[in-house]
């Protein structure tokens, strides 16, 4: 009788251990499958890059989240302050402490600016893989984009 209770207890502990570890692993896999990167919106004074980082390289399918850490309202728009919006993505007003996210499902460089502060610009470079030669070429091309 004691052997049967001991085996039953052991099996019960084993099942709990396995379920706990499977759940923990599944949660970790979900966390690593979504690749999200944060860009902080800071004070957009004259001649100051208000996106940190201003240039970023990600992989196709990744999501960028802009976080407004400034005390002013901002509006992220794809395109440039000189030529205007290009229609690829745009946020509504992002109030202080607000966020805007966009998933990039196309490869290439995507310039953006603050529609309320058009001289503030940034670029997201989307590649097939991290550190490809094409990404490095685009990074070089857009090196001074943030200070234009």
Q: Using one digit for the tens of pLDDT, what is the confidence trace for 21-61?
A: 433 333 322 233 347 799 999 987 665 678 999 899 999 99
Tokens 């109030």 sit at which residue?
Answer: 95
Residue 100 has pLDDT above 90, yes or no: yes
pLDDT at 18: 40
Contact 73, 114 (CB under 8 A): no
pLDDT at 75: 96
Contact 57, 37 (CB under 8 A): no
Residues 104-124: tens digit of each pLDDT: 999 999 999 999 988 889 999
pTM, rounded to two decimals: 0.69
Residue 125 has pLDDT above 60, yes or no: yes
Q: For the chain, what percent of residues have pLDDT higher than 90?
A: 47
* 84 vs 142 pLDDT, higher one: 84
Tokens 């200070």 sit at which residue?
Answer: 147
Q: Give the mean pLDDT of the chain.
A: 76
Residue 12 has pLDDT above 50, yes or no: no
E-assigned strand segments in 9-92: 36-41, 51-52, 55-59, 63-68, 76-80, 84-90
Distance of CA 117 to the CA centre of its chain: 22
Poorest-confidence range of 90-99, 112-121, 127-136? 127-136
């Amino acid at each position: 009788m004691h052997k049967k209770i001991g085996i039953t207890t052991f099996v019960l502990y084993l099942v709990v251990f396995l379920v706990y570890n499977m759940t923990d692993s599944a949660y970790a896999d979900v966390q690593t499958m979504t690749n999200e990167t944060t860009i902080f919106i800071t004070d957009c004074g004259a001649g100051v890059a208000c996106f940190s980082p201003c240039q970023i390289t990600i992989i196709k399918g990744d999501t960028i989240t802009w976080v407004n850490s400034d005390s002013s309202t901002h509006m992220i728009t794809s395109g440039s302050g000189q030529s205007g919006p290009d229609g690829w993505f745009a946020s509504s007003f992002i109030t202080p402490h607000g966020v805007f996210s966009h998933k990039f499902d196309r490869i290439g460089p995507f310039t953006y600016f603050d529609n309320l502060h058009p001289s503030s610009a940034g670029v997201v470079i989307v590649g097939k893989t991290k550190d490809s030669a094409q990404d490095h070429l685009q990074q070089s091309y857009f090196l001074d984009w943030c200070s234009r």
